[in-house]
Amino acid sequence: MNETNANKTTLSIGSFLQAAIASSESLKLKINRRRNELILVDSATGYSAKLDIEMEIEDDPAEMANGDPPPSCPPSVEELFQELASQWRNETSHLSLAIKQVMHPAYQRIIGLGPVAVPLILRELQREPDHWFWALEAITGEKPATPGSSVAQAAQVWLQWGKERHYI
């Protein structure tokens, strides 16, 4: 297996593990870059499992040397995201305060999906701008839109951010 294929395999395994643990409150995936290890930890039991890897893991899949886009999420995660997004829209559309919208349990579960939710949220922003910025900031740690931007302005800034990083 050449290095390019090995990178793709590792990202697929990482994406799979991340999606598999996204719904668990006690399982966490850690990456030890110095030792080239993936570590799966169950905080409820204290058990852990290590997977040694033979290549360096990139900080941002969108910036990989071979130009591959970030890993796509498994269909089950996409289906869960769509269900949660629909529930969030249906149950918060009447609320005028954004803070009440983003504190909704469905929205919080979307944040809990982690990085695999980023391309899904960005697609929602393309389809219909809405208050997805809190989730994007929580997941990515980025804040590309300036405070006080309108929803439409912030959506455009986030969409440009996503295009630059190959999420969309």
Q: Is residue 68 assigned to a domain?
A: no
Q: Are residues 87 and 153 in the same domain?
A: yes
Q: Is residue 127 assigned to a domain?
A: yes
Question: For 93-150, where are the alpha helices, taking DSSP H only?
Answer: 98-102, 105-112, 118-127, 133-140
Q: Are residues 81 and 148 in the same domain?
A: yes
Is residue 17 pLDDT above 80, yes or no? no
Do the beta carbons of residue 115 and residue 138 sit within 8 Å? Answer: no
Q: Are residues 100 and 26 in the same domain?
A: no
Q: Are residues 80 and 148 in the same domain?
A: yes
User: Angle at Cα 85 formed by Cα 83 and Cα 89, nearest 5°?
Assistant: 120
Q: Are residues 159 and 86 in the same domain?
A: yes
- What pLDDT digit, counting tens, does each position of 52-81 carry? 555 444 444 444 444 555 555 555 888 899
Q: Are residues 82 and 154 in the same domain?
A: yes
**So what's the pLDDT on residue 78?**
87
Q: Is residue 12 assigned to a domain?
A: yes
Give the mean model confidence (pLDDT) for residues 8-33.
53
Phi/psi region, residue 135 (left: phi>0; alpha: psi -120 to 50; beta: rest), is alpha
Q: Is residue 70 assigned to a domain?
A: no
Residue 127 belongs to domain spanning:
75-164
String of b and e for 105-117 (b: at least 16 CB within 10 Å)? ebbebbbbbbbbb
Question: Pick from 63, 84, 115: which residue ends a domain?
Answer: 63
Q: Are residues 54 and 121 in the same domain?
A: no
Q: Which amino acid is at 168?
A: I
Q: Are residues 87 and 23 in the same domain?
A: no
Q: Is residue 141 assigned to a domain?
A: yes
Higher-pLDDT residue of 6 and 165 is 165
**So what's the pLDDT on residue 119?**
94
Model confidence, pTM? 0.56
Is residue 145 pLDDT above 80, yes or no? yes
Question: Pick from 42, 63, 84: which residue ends a domain?
Answer: 63
User: For the chain, how many structural domains are there in total?
Assistant: 2
**Phi and psi at residue 105, in whole multiples of 5°?**
-55, -35
